Structure 1
């Protein structure tokens, strides 16, 4: 182990490039994106900061060690020698997970058993319900040990209690907003807002709020944690005043009530205006043009796909008639439904979402 860690921020496949600018904005110029996320070198305060600040990440992993093992006996020996107490306190409950690829050690369960035995000897308590998760990757006989420093997925900001039928995860919403060019300076409208995820993320971005300001993290249970230093990384939140810059509507009154409550818990209700109305009744807000971003039903899990063509067509008509100058960003799993809007949309890369593949479709400013 060294003072410098390899840090890996996990993000949904297809959105890695959209996460990288967040690292750049935080001053991490040497970060690089690849399959599944973004990698950088840093120290433990960087780990804490990334968990607190990143909007597009799912997890932040800290790689605490790497060694070669050609057999289970070799893994036994190296695991017994590993300085576990530099990462875990004595008595810490640790969940161990493993994957094996193209290696002489091919049985993940056997690898887990060996490492759990070493942890037990070092004073830790292996447990399926551990407060911290240790991830073992064995590939081409190289064993990489990483700690999940986040705990619960980072999309769980700690604000959303009311959830719709097919919710957009907060980290995906933030990355789609970024892909759509949103930087917090323009109005945003979601005409099928559900629980309000897009708009709450947009409001938080506009105010420069830390994504993880209202939650706890697994790294707080690690031996490297410094509570005072972490507290210094948290920014105080002042009272947020309007006028509203994030506009949402949905035809379901209960859904709108939940979105309002979610925005209030997040502390951004002054920036959000939620109304109960169908797509055909959505009006352009006063002021400059901005971004319409929407995650309509796809038909895969919610709604009859045939009936959805009419809904998408109605959405397209409303936007063409009333939103001249506004850009449109739409998430859907069905290119045919996007085409039904009649809008000049281009298709982005595929992104896994809830067992489906979805795409972000975007338009230039509407004429």
Structure 2
């Protein structure tokens, strides 16, 4: 099989960021679609996308399509599909089907036809817990067959065991760092670091190491997998750049969060400094100005909104007094709290879904 369409998913609202990342990594034909980015590539490109994309949630390989106007036709064409080119008979598969704007409108009935074709014509085993997921989408009578090549969501890097309350997912943190203009060559400070996601991601970007280096993927169980090629690709991804001459610092008033973040950074193998401190005690590291990025409580689930105005106010006061020349990024679902910082905030872009809420990134230019 030559090149085919690859679909990298992301959190709605972050498609443009993912598209820029896809292009920077050298993938061709990147196009923004709702919920992600499509591009062209081969199976090694699928592996590389899973290994290196930071802001993606999953990578789907779109392996084929055919027209189906009724269930009998779906059954017949699914039985003729070359499943053996992708799936192994010794690896169980889970099937998910969605039908939209098509003559075939019953998801479960369509799923049963595809499952029967897999078991009776291709000898594939089915399991509700299978890591390999076959996604069949019937839209406008076109049946598109994709394989979820990631397995677990890509935000699970494989080295973050400890998480705090309302954690920021790693792929979202990477996207927000990108939107703040971070490229790996400046210091990053997070004064409410929680489990350390922002500074750990920043340190990995600076070191030039792949986010997926510590985990396994569903594509390793497909018939298209080449273990030797993958081993070489993964070994290269483990290489660090020379230690960057920058600092990545996190602080939090909670001692448990500091220990958790420190342990997470150690598992990730990156150099990050974590200290226990209140926002009012925050001081800049001895480096040229860089980026302060923070995901404070929103008051929607953690903290009482009225009490948070003083916290946001203290954060803004500290930054304005001590962080001249630094840029700031604040992620919150509450524009009123963001304004309470008193910082010179730039116009925001669209909202982004996060844990059932809609959050926005509030940025500044270098502070006066």
Q: Distance in 2 between matches of 1:319 and 1:8?
A: 40
How many positions carry a matched residue from both structures? 364
Query: 1:74-113 to 2 correspondence within 5 Å?
Result: 74-113=73-112
Structure 1 residues 156 and 350, CA, compared in 2 at 3 Å: closer, same or farther?
A: same
Query: 1:114-133 to 2 correspondence within 5 Å?
Result: 114-121=113-120, 122-133=122-133
Q: Which residue of 1 aligns with 2:60?
A: 61
Q: What is the root-mean-square deviation of aligned Cα atoms in Å? A: 1.2
How far residue 241 of structure 1 moved from its aligned partner, in angstroms, is: 4.8
Q: Distance in 1 between matches of 2:9 and 2:240?
A: 30
Q: Distance in 2 between matches of 1:348 and 1:291?
A: 19
How far residue 243 of structure 1 moved from its aligned partner, in angstroms, is: 6.0
The one-character-per-residue Cα deviations of 1:306-348 (angstroms, maximum 9, x if unpaired) are 1001100000000000000000000000000000000011222
Structure 1 residues 28 and 239, CA, compared in 2 at 3 Å: closer, same or farther?
A: closer
What secondary structure sits across from 2:365 in the alignment? Answer: coil
Q: Distance in 2 between matches of 1:365 and 1:242?
A: 22
How far residue 364 of structure 1 moved from its aligned partner, in angstroms, is: 0.6
How far residue 295 of structure 1 moved from its aligned partner, in angstroms, is: 0.2
What secondary structure sits across from 1:299 in the alignment? Answer: coil
Stretch deviating more after TM superposition (23-32 or 258-267): 23-32
Q: Distance in 2 between matches of 1:128 and 1:287?
A: 52
How far residue 131 of structure 1 moved from its aligned partner, in angstroms, is: 2.6
Moved over 4 A (4+): 238-244
Is residue 281 of structure 1 aligned with residue 281 of structure 2?
A: yes
Tell me if structure 2 keeps the 8 A contact 1:240–1:267. Answer: no
Q: Distance in 1 between matches of 2:202 and 2:150?
A: 23
How far residue 98 of structure 1 moved from its aligned partner, in angstroms, is: 1.0
Q: Which residue of 2 aligns with 1:145?
A: 145
Tell me if structure 2 keeps the 8 A contact 1:192–1:250. Answer: yes
Stretch deviating more after TM superposition (193-202 or 344-353): 344-353
Q: Distance in 1 between matches of 2:239 and 2:90?
A: 36
Tell me if structure 2 keeps the 8 A contact 1:33–1:39. Answer: yes
Tell me if structure 2 keeps the 8 A contact 1:244–1:273. Answer: no
Given candidates 252, 265, 268, the residue that maps to 2:267 is: 265
Q: Distance in 1 between matches of 2:350 and 2:217?
A: 31
Q: Distance in 2 between matches of 1:283 and 1:239?
A: 28
Q: Which residue of 2 aligns with 1:171?
A: 171
What secondary structure sits across from 2:311 in the alignment? Answer: helix
How far residue 240 of structure 1 moved from its aligned partner, in angstroms, is: 6.9
Q: Which runs of 5+ in 1 are unaligned?
A: none
Stretch deviating more after TM superposition (91-100 or 293-302): 91-100
Query: 1:185-334 to 2 correspondence within 5 Å?
Result: 185-234=185-234, 235=236, 236-238=238-240, 241=243, 245-268=247-270, 270=271, 272-334=272-334
Structure 1 residues 156 and 240, CA, compared in 2 at 3 Å: closer, same or farther?
A: farther
Q: Distance in 2 between matches of 1:29 and 1:363?
A: 33
Q: Distance in 2 between matches of 1:83 and 1:165?
A: 46
The one-character-per-residue Cα deviations of 1:223-252 (angstroms, maximum 9, x if unpaired) are 000000111212133597576611110000
What secondary structure sits across from 1:125 in the alignment? Answer: coil
Task: Report the TM-score, using the length of structure 2 for normalisation.
Answer: 0.97
Q: Distance in 1 between matches of 2:155 and 2:311?
A: 29
